[in-house]
A = this chain, B = another copy of it.
Amino acid sequence: MDSKKIDTTNDTPSTRRGFLGKSAALGLAGVTLGLAGCKDEATAGGKTAAAPAAHKGGEVAPGQLDDYYAFISSGHSGEARILGLPSGRELKRIPVFNIDCMVGWGITNESKAIMGTKPDGSLKYTTGDTHHVHGSYKNGTYDGRWLFINDKLHSRVARIRMDTMETDKITELPNVAGFHGIFPDKRDPVDPKIDYTTRVFCGAEFHIPLPNDGRDLEDPSKWGALFSCVSAETMEVMWQVRVDGNMDLCATSYDGKLAACNQYNVENAADLNGMMAAERDACVFLHIERVEALVKAGKYTTIGSSKVPVVDGRKTANADPKTAISCYVPVGKNPHGVNASPDGKYFVCSGKLSPTATVIELAKVLQWFDGNVKDPRDTVVAEPEIGLGPLHTAFDGKGNAYTSLFLDSQAVKWNVDAAIAQFKGDKNAKVILEKFDVHYQPGHNYSSMGETTQADGKYLNSGNKFSKDRFLPVGPLHPETEQLIDISGANMKLVADHTAYSEPHDGIIVRRDVVKTRQIYNMTDFPNAVTPETAGIERKGNKVHVRLMSQAPAYSMPVIKVKKGDEVTITLTNYDKVEDLTHGCAIPTYNINFIVNPQETKSVTFKADHAGAFWMYCTHFCHALHLEMRSRFLVEA
């Protein structure tokens, strides 16, 4: 295909060639070292792609835009990722719990403040394990405001603001280990007028001593697990619930009332055989309004030095359904995953070591909490046999469910209503519609808009853990296979095998018109922004503050001089306003490396402990004279 022949009418703003022409002019003729204001492209407002066009198969032609964003986790890479679908293009890595020396995440003062530091100023953690990413809701679908993502390793919740696609808050959960499932509420559990996300719920797989200060090491039967609730707005931990068993994945009801978690360890065991002992495990529902009423009434304890209220959700404390905050519904053995259907009626929880998916009806669970259903098991309305190793279930909005089968290496498509009919005794119900081979060992799957009321039944992604022979060999460490499946027709069609650096778990597929981003920052958003008036060098004792501006192809100071032993802070504001015109700032020996996007400000602080001349240089291609964009950082002995 010739690039000149591509029809980009739908996707191309009129500024494209204008932008190119201007940059070229900047490059050759526009070599200006001053910092005169630049008026071009200063539109800091939101940018949204139009509603999706139709693409055939997985190929998105050059110059064409994808139909969907996928926001996915990265496992113990510690980051979040944005892909375009169906192409599979990696549009961005979002550093969250990891160090990313490209953007300077974990290097700049601003990112270190978000990540958390030790008393000596070094990072508290440099590792993380992200499993689930979910977006904030409004009116039952994504509002494009926030993403929330978990860290299983250090039990942290991070929030990503979707206008800039950057992590803006990280909260560590007290007295929690193995924080795995995360899900925002879809509307307020208490105030029915609030139809958007206000809380984020967090499961916890592992039992630990409470508090975990060295007590009870020898007696795991005294250990416990907590379910946590974090404020979406402040990111503070609002309350926790002590539970029996563990809390693995999370889901929330569309009416805002309930949070659900699957439990693979109702046994409260500390070893593998113990965790597999019971024939049934559970799906636990928490009644959020009742939890918060207990907190409000002061009926809580606290654990160790944490001030977070902890209420008791264990069975013995919740014998009467009419006051209970928790309902334990028996499901198949060692389940891994619970998902809410987009019609708002059902939760599906699969028994990993049982070949079944358990369908639980929300209305019946609410009736149980009202005392009108006797046995929690009576909330189950279907339990079809669907295949070996069922894990996670996605939906197409047309009444069908798609469950990943880890052991069979398949995606199974089954009909929810048919499963319910079969459970009621209809022997002619056609439950299983199709079994589709995936390559190999699928973990999560997720469908386009599938966790919203706007589930559109277009794509299903199967995140496969093993990729043997699907891609060119690259040594002992294999990529994973993210298989994109078209589910819009009667039969599933494999569209693409995309690779992934280990290891994505869950994700969401979001229609592109839902996402509204900013291309340029507001300089005034940064209280420490450098202005022509404040630019320069300021010394207070041995503390030196260097206030710099960048505009291609130069920093505002060609020479910066400090003394050995100084504590140096460099604050850099990027005065370029051209979209995509990012500058880097690296200083050899001092291990400094970060970027400033258009109109952004960042800072670093370090001790000048090596005498010599060090070239601070721009690491991020900006201009024809990018290589020449550098200043001398001189440290006098």
Whether A102 contacts B89 in the complex (CB less than 8 A), given A24-B407, A353-B624, A468-B16, comes out as: no
Considering only CB atoms, which chain B residue lies closest to A632 in the complex? B270
Whether A92 contacts B479 in the complex (CB less than 8 A), given A1-B57, A16-B469, A76-B619, comes out as: yes
B619 engages A129 (CB within 8 Å): yes
CA distance A443 to B491 in the complex (A): 45
Check: A169 CB closer than 8 A to any chain B CB. Answer: no
B214 engages A23 (CB within 8 Å): no
CA distance A613 to B222 in the complex (A): 12
> A473-510 vs B: 1/0 string, CB under 8 Å?
11111110001000000011111111101110000000
Task: List which A454-484 residues lie within 8 A (CB) of chain B.
Answer: 465-479, 483
Check: A399 CB closer than 8 A to any chain B CB. Answer: no
**This chain's copy number in the assembly:** 2
Which B residues lie within 8 Å of A593 (CB)?
76, 127-129, 153
Task: List which A52-101 residues lie within 8 A (CB) of chain B.
Answer: 57-59, 62-63, 65-66, 69, 74-78, 82, 84, 88-93, 97-101
Q: Interface-forming stretch among A233-241, A312-320, A323-331, A595-603?
A: A595-603
CA distance A579 to B467 in the complex (A): 10
> A29-56 vs B: 1/0 string, CB under 8 Å?
0010100000000000001110000000
Which B residues lie within 8 Å of A286 (CB)?
none
Considering only CB atoms, which chain B residue lies closest to A498 in the complex? B89
B2 engages A491 (CB within 8 Å): yes
Interface centre among A78, A220, A499, A634 (most CB of B within 10 A): A499
> A221-244 vs B: 1/0 string, CB under 8 Å?
001000000000000000000000
Chain A binding surface, main DSSP class: loop
In the assembled complex, how far is the CB of residue A5 from the closest CB belonging to chain B, in whole angstroms?
9
A103 engages B621 (CB within 8 Å): no
Which B residues lie within 8 Å of A471 (CB)?
65-66, 84, 89, 91
Considering only CB atoms, which chain B residue lies closest to A595 in the complex? B477
Check: A217 CB closer than 8 A to any chain B CB. Answer: yes
B627 engages A264 (CB within 8 Å): yes
B77 engages A100 (CB within 8 Å): yes
Check: A107 CB closer than 8 A to any chain B CB. Answer: yes
CA distance A101 to B77 in the complex (A): 6
Residues of A in contact, count (CB < 8 Å): 176
Task: List which A558-607 residues lie within 8 A (CB) of chain B.
Answer: 558, 561, 564, 579-582, 584, 586, 588-589, 591-593, 595, 597-598, 600
Check: A553 CB closer than 8 A to any chain B CB. Answer: yes
CA distance A203 to B241 in the complex (A): 61
In the assembled complex, how far is the CB of residue A116 from the closest CB belonging to chain B, in whole angstroms?
12
B477 engages A28 (CB within 8 Å): no
In the assembled complex, how far is the CB of residue A400 from the closest CB belonging to chain B, in whole angstroms?
18
Which B residues lie within 8 Å of A620 (CB)?
75-76, 502-503
Report, nearest first, the 9 A-B pairs whose CB atoms are least far apart: A214-B611, A214-B637, A476-B597, A127-B593, A62-B497, A212-B612, A465-B621, A165-B475, A101-B127
